[in-house]
Amino acid sequence: MKKVLVFGGTHGNEFTGVWIVEKYAEFFKKKYPTLRLEFILANPEAHKINKRFKDEDLNRAFQFLHEKRPDSFEHHRARELRDMVLKEECFVIDLHTTTSAMGKTIILTDYNPLVLWLGQELAAKMSDARVIGSPDPNKKYLASQVPSSLMIEVGPVANGLLDPVVFEGTVALLDQILLSLSVAPASPKGEVELYVEVEDVKYPLDEKGQISAYIHSGFQGKDFVKIEGNYTPFRRFSGEEITSKTLGPRYPIFINEAAYYPQKLAYTLCEKTLKKF
Ligand SMILES: [Zn+2]
């Protein structure tokens, strides 16, 4: 029997994953008896205080496990979670939401045939779902600790909120992934359309290093809308528009994600590719 670990609340203020872990564990265990399903609240301390994290971002902490960080709850928790997923062979699903208007997505950090096949199945069964490729060479994400894994990322929803569309969309994505996992072939083959992250775009900064422009009203909410050539992502607080240019077709994601302001990250550009496996 395949062991599947479903994590929610890796970011404590993303309520959708927390509530799926708390309210849907028994439903999915009954529905998929051929899977050994476990549901885990990944960051209970951050959820208690309704924050993304307590001491450091748990979903970046895995890259620092070689360091000593005795005062960090997430450092300690990342060790526990890594031990949990490495104990025996398992498939890892990590539930996330975004304030960006990305709709229903899954994010792959490893391009092995099983996860690519799950992406292909998902795109075939749910026409509004997309598959993002986000290779993670530093293994900073929880999902990157094992090759058989993916993140579910749905938006837009504010942090600390259950939005019915985002909540039901996440349940539907999880349901489809579990259904596919329960019937996955031993040697999957096929091809899948991937949106592969190629460039992080930062906000324009002033001479003091402060953000000097905001997302343009014509760009807000345009996640996955194709850009080719000139486009206008920002407006300065003085009113002036800022244009930019791509060298080929690009697809923006995570436009105006609330959690990325500290890093001054405005959005990420993807290239669309057909991945054979
Ligand atoms: Zn998250």
CA-based nearest residue to 97, from 176, 155, 11: 155
Q: Do residues 159 and 114 touch, judged by C-beta distance below 8 A?
A: no
The mean pLDDT of 180-187, rounded to a whole number, is 96
- 96 Cα: distance to centroid of ligand 1 (angstroms): 4
Running DSSP on this structure, what letter comes out for residue 277? -
- 26 Cα: distance to centroid of ligand 1 (angstroms): 23
Domain boundary among 163, 189, 215: 189
Residue written as token pair 């001491």: 55
Q: Do residues 25 and 37 touch, judged by C-beta distance below 8 A?
A: yes
* Pair 34, 87 in one domain: yes
* Pair 96, 117 in one domain: yes
Domain boundary among 189, 221, 253: 189
Q: Do residues 40 and 21 touch, judged by C-beta distance below 8 A?
A: yes
The CATH number given to whatever domain includes residue 159 is 3.40.630.10
- 74 Cα: distance to centroid of ligand 1 (angstroms): 14
- 94 Cα: distance to centroid of ligand 1 (angstroms): 9
Within the chain, residue ranges assigned H as helices are 15-23, 25-31, 44-48, 58-61, 73-86, 113-125, 164-182
Q: φ and ψ at 44, to 5 degrees?
A: -60, -35
- 153 Cα: distance to centroid of ligand 1 (angstroms): 8
* Pair 76, 174 in one domain: yes
pLDDT at 202 over 80: yes
- 241 Cα: distance to centroid of ligand 1 (angstroms): 31
End-to-end Cα distance, the chain: 24
- 226 Cα: distance to centroid of ligand 1 (angstroms): 24
- 70 Cα: distance to centroid of ligand 1 (angstroms): 24
The mean pLDDT of 71-99, rounded to a whole number, is 98
pLDDT at 44 over 80: yes
- 14 Cα: distance to centroid of ligand 1 (angstroms): 6
- 238 Cα: distance to centroid of ligand 1 (angstroms): 33
Residues ≥6 apart with Cβ < 8 Å to 66: none
* Pair 156, 19 in one domain: yes
* Pair 153, 208 in one domain: no
- The Cα–Cα gap between 178 and 134 comes to 21
- 239 Cα: distance to centroid of ligand 1 (angstroms): 32
Running DSSP on this structure, what letter comes out for residue 210? -
- The Cα–Cα gap between 213 and 243 comes to 12
- Tell me the C-alpha to C-alpha distance, in Å, between residue 34 and each of 3, 16, 130, 203: 9, 25, 27, 47
The mean pLDDT of 80-90, rounded to a whole number, is 97
- 67 Cα: distance to centroid of ligand 1 (angstroms): 23
Within 149-246, residue ranges assigned H as helices are 164-182
- 98 Cα: distance to centroid of ligand 1 (angstroms): 7
Residue 88 pLDDT grade (very low, low, confident, very high; cuts 50, 70, 90) = very high
Q: Give the whole-number percent of the chain exceeding pLDDT 70.
A: 100
According to the model, what pLDDT value does residue 239 have?
97
- Which residue segment(s) compose the domain that 154 sits in? 2-189
pLDDT at 3 over 90: yes
Number of domains in the chain: 2
* Pair 180, 231 in one domain: no
- 186 Cα: distance to centroid of ligand 1 (angstroms): 31
Domain boundary among 157, 189, 221: 189
The mean pLDDT of 186-213, rounded to a whole number, is 97
* Pair 166, 220 in one domain: no
For residue 217, give both structure tokens. Answer: 């009203």
- 92 Cα: distance to centroid of ligand 1 (angstroms): 15
- 202 Cα: distance to centroid of ligand 1 (angstroms): 19
* Pair 98, 137 in one domain: yes
